[in-house]
Structure 1
Amino acid sequence: MFHFVKTAIKNRIKLVSILVFGLVLTAYSQEIQYETKQNIPYYNASINQADEYINERCVLDIYYPKNTKDFPTIVWFHGGGLTGGEKEIPEQLMGKGVCIVAVNYRLSPKVKAPIYIDDAAAAVSWVFKNVADLGGDPSLILVSGHSAGGYLASMIGLDKSWLNKYDIDADKIAGLIPFSGHAITHFTVREERGIPGTQPIVDSLAPLYHVRPDAPPLLLITGDRELELLGRYEENAYLMRMMKIAGHKETTLYELDGYGHGMTEPAFPLLLKEVQRIKEEKNNDK
Structure 2
Amino acid sequence: MKKLVIYMFLAVLPLIANGQALSYKTIENIFYYDTPTTDRSTYMQDQNLLDIQYPEVDHKVPVVIWFHGGGLTAGKKEIPSALKEKGFCVVGVGYRLSPKVKAETCIEDAAAAIAWVYKNIDRYNGDSSRIFVSGHSAGGYLGLMAVMDKSRLEKHNLSSDMIAGLVPFSGHTITHFTIRQERGIPGEQPVIDKLAPLYHVRKNAPSTLLITGDREKEMLGRYEENAYFYRMMKVVGHKDITLYEMDGYGHNMTEPAFPLLVDFVRLKSKID
Q: TM-score range by the shorter chain?
A: over 0.9
> 1:25 Cα deviation (Å)?
6.3
Q: Partner residue of 1:57?
A: 47
For the residue of structure 2 that corresponds to 1:277, the secondary structure is helix
Which letter does structure 2 place at the counterpart of 1:18? Y
Which letter does structure 1 place at the counterpart of 2:3? R
Q: Is residue 137 of structure 2 the alignment partner of residue 112 of structure 1?
A: no
CA distance in 1, matches of 2:38, 2:17: 39
Which range moved further: 105-114 or 28-37? 28-37
For the residue of structure 1 that corresponds to 2:36, the secondary structure is helix
Q: Is the 8 A contact 1:21 1:270 kept in 2?
A: no
Q: Is the 8 A contact 1:223 1:256 kept in 2?
A: yes
Q: Is the 8 A contact 1:28 1:96 kept in 2?
A: no
Q: Is the 8 A contact 1:32 1:68 kept in 2?
A: no
Distance 1:48 1:76, change over 3 A: farther
Deviations 1:211-243 (A, max 9, x none): 000000111000000010010000000000000
**Number of aligned residues:** 271
CA distance in 2, matches of 1:183, 1:126: 25
> 1:68 Cα deviation (Å)?
3.7
> 1:134 Cα deviation (Å)?
1.7
Q: Is residue 3 of structure 2 the alignment partner of residue 12 of structure 1?
A: yes
CA distance in 1, matches of 2:183, 2:132: 31
Distance 1:48 1:110, change over 3 A: farther
Q: Partner residue of 1:37?
A: 27
For the residue of structure 2 that corresponds to 1:236, the secondary structure is helix
Percent of aligned positions with the same letter in both sequences? Answer: 56
CA distance in 2, matches of 1:71, 1:48: 34
Q: Is the 8 A contact 1:185 1:205 kept in 2?
A: yes
Q: Partner residue of 1:171?
A: 161
Q: Is residue 174 of structure 2 the alignment partner of residue 184 of structure 1?
A: yes
Q: Is residue 224 of structure 2 the alignment partner of residue 226 of structure 1?
A: no
Q: Is the 8 A contact 1:105 1:119 kept in 2?
A: yes
> 1:47 Cα deviation (Å)?
6.0
Q: Is residue 202 of structure 2 the alignment partner of residue 212 of structure 1?
A: yes
Structure 1 gaps of 5+ residues are 1-9
Q: Is the 8 A contact 1:48 1:54 kept in 2?
A: no
Higher relative helix content: 1
For the residue of structure 2 that corresponds to 1:195, the secondary structure is coil
> 1:31 Cα deviation (Å)?
2.7
Which range moved further: 87-96 or 47-56? 47-56
CA distance in 2, matches of 1:256, 1:41: 35
Q: Is the 8 A contact 2:12 2:82 kept in 1?
A: no
- Among residues 131, 135, 148, which one is paired with 2:121 in the alignment? 131
CA distance in 2, matches of 1:202, 1:47: 37
CA distance in 2, matches of 1:129, 1:87: 20
After TM superposition, where is structure 1 displaced by more than 3 Å over at least 4 residues in a row?
23-30, 47-50
Q: Partner residue of 1:3?
A: none
Q: Under a length normalisation based on structure 1, what TM-score does the superposition of the two structures give?
A: 0.91
Q: Partner residue of 1:274?
A: 264
